[in-house]
Structure 1
Amino acid sequence: MQSIISDYVRQHDRDHFICSLFVSRSVRRNYLALYAFNIEINNIIYDCSETMTALVRLQWWRERISMIYCNKAVNDNQVILELANVIYSAAIPEFLINDYLDGYEQMVYQPFYRNTPNLEKIAAQTTVTLIKILFTTTIQNYSNDQLAYHCGVAWHLMNSLRNTTTERLDEETMVSIVERAEYHINQVKKLIKTAPKEIVKITLQTRLAGLYLKRIRNKKSDVISGKIGYPLINRPLKPISDSHFAVKTCLCSSNIYCRNSLKLIR
């Protein structure tokens, strides 16, 4: 089953699939399961054209998660089964999952691209909550709200840029989003200095966000183009054996943020 989940994330979220190769093997299963769940929820938000359809599908997930916490059997699909395993093994607080779904429900009612403060507010309810869940599954009862906040908001803002089109985002708003995302990335760099090593690895996605923002800066006025709009890792992946070798080599360094650590994903 884990192979199925891994392949699912590899196919639909290559950024986080690559990041998963940098976390410990004991953490990777939970990491992939949570991002498989994240893919499912994002598909509802971005693929449903009807508000009512999206709300019904979100309610379906709420019911399944409620069943998990009530120790009732769930076998609807492999993502749910793996999510149930993570919830049981890591003792994820139910309120975190509910907060995460509440945030995405708010997105159903609001346009995707508004002003930067509203994007940060949505990020705090969605992506930030997911990072908090990842933290607690990595180290039980670990909490670092500041680090989770800056990491989640940075990724959410970057992803908003990547998923936008010229018609939906004016240049002034784009510049504001870039500057705020860079601010949050810099805050992450400061906060990880005192964070446990396994938690630092969870924040690796902010390095990807930084690389993407650098590409936008380099494009200058032509910021929204087909090339930039693609995922950072929109190219064939190396064979798994090669990737694992690269990860093993990378993690020999005490600093996961060293320049060589990103050779695999450039």
Structure 2
Amino acid sequence: MPSRPAEAAQPVDVQPVDPGPIDLVRRYDHDRFLASLFAPAGLRPAIWALLAFNLEIARVREVVSQPVIGQIRLQWWRDALDEIYTGKPPRRHEVVEPLAAAIVAHGLTRTHFDTMIDGREFDLGDEPPASLDALERYLEQTSSRLIDLELEVLGVTAPAAFEAARHAGVAWGLIGLVRAVPFHAAQGRIYLPADLMAGAGIDRDVLLAGKGASAVLVKPLVDRAAEHLMAVRRRRKEIPRKAVSALLVARQAAAYLRRLVQSGYDPFDPHVNAPDPGAVFRLAVGRYLALI
């Protein structure tokens, strides 16, 4: 790993915490996990609980055999939140219990959780989003709302930070879905907009076979992600420093965006998802210089 400034060398004095959320996030959402290490140490357990909750609802489609079972699992989470917000003891679950502690300690907004769960209902179907606009709305419901909750944990109230969160979440989601094209194709799933596929003359079955993710289809998503990242940067001077760790996904999205451009917009290029040895250094620079 590249050397880094001495002041940035020790950002991760991890506090003891229930192993459930931190292990889940470190293993299955490593990019967000790295970004979380630049939040204040005392707030990281709450952020890990949020990230673990996001993982739980994001993986529902992967662990169920039928959409109706997925609906039941999502309803389980709605019921668990009902119990938390009405003051009942939280369910004995490795994510629910620390999530309840985070909600109580930081007064987290219930609507964000409900919107995230509602957004994940889309995952249970087999149809791709109708358009790029529809895909962005899905990402605002899921990825952006997660950042909103992180900002609440960090005690951020500045409107500019939440507007930046909307753009950062969509940018991260767009780049993430492009990078995940091979993974989703193997599962028989498509998140690339139907209108773009039709306009590019790309057949669904060809795409699922891993042969149709051409630049003409991928480039519009990457270009739109770049627009959202620019919107984040335009608000940089209005964003309080304590919000930066929640918005570092914008720097990570920009790094993956560059890889996609270098690959010729080919998500099947191994370079796109190769390990990034410079990630921690890049995030440290972003955190300490307030660059997002």
Identity %: 25
Q: Which entry has the higher C-alpha Rg, 1 or 2?
A: 2
Counterpart in the other structure of 1:264: none
Counterpart in the other structure of 1:118: 134
Question: SS in structure 2 opposite 1:8?
Answer: helix
Counterpart in the other structure of 2:70: 54
Q: Quick check: 1:98 aligned with 2:114? A: yes
Q: What TM-score, normalized by structure 2, do the two folds share?
A: 0.76
Say which of 150, 167, 175 aligns to 1:158. 175
Counterpart in the other structure of 1:227: 270
Residues 74/187 of structure 1: CA separation in 2 closer, same or farther (3 Å cut): same
Say which of 244, 252, 269 aligns to 1:208. 252
Residue identity opposite 1:18 in structure 2: L
Contact 1:45 1:54 (C-alpha < 8 Å) held by counterparts: yes
CA distance in 2 between counterparts of 1:170 and 1:114 reads 18
Q: Quick check: 1:255 aligned with 2:289? A: yes
Residue identity opposite 1:174 in structure 2: V
Deviation of the 1:49 alpha carbon: 4.0
Contact 1:107 1:122 (C-alpha < 8 Å) held by counterparts: no
Residue identity opposite 1:147 in structure 2: A
The 10-residue stretch of structure 1 (136-145 or 42-51) with the greater mean CA deviation from structure 2: 136-145
Deviation of the 1:19 alpha carbon: 0.7
- Note the alpha carbon deviations across 1:215-239, whole angstroms, 9 max, x for none: 1111116x12251453655x8x99x
CA distance in 2 between counterparts of 1:151 and 1:6 reads 23
CA distance in 1 between counterparts of 2:220 and 2:251 reads 19
Say which of 59, 79, 83 aligns to 1:63. 79
Deviation of the 1:122 alpha carbon: 0.5
CA distance in 1 between counterparts of 2:129 and 2:113 reads 24
Deviation of the 1:256 alpha carbon: 3.7
Write the mapping of 1:1-266 to structure 2, written as runs, cut at 5 A.
Answer: 1-109=17-125, 111-112=127-128, 114-139=130-155, 141-143=157-159, 144-165=161-182, 167-168=207-208, 169-220=213-264, 223-225=266-268, 227-228=270-271, 230=273, 232-233=275-276, 250=284, 254-257=288-291
Contact 1:135 1:142 (C-alpha < 8 Å) held by counterparts: no
CA distance in 2 between counterparts of 1:9 and 1:231 reads 19
Deviation of the 1:106 alpha carbon: 3.2
Structure 2, unpaired ranges of 5+: 1-16, 186-206
Counterpart in the other structure of 2:204: none
Q: What TM-score, normalized by structure 1, do the two folds share?
A: 0.83
- Note the alpha carbon deviations across 1:39-90, whole angstroms, 9 max, x for none: 1111103443421111110001110111101111123311100100011011
Structure 1, unpaired ranges of 5+: 259-266
Residue identity opposite 1:230 in structure 2: N
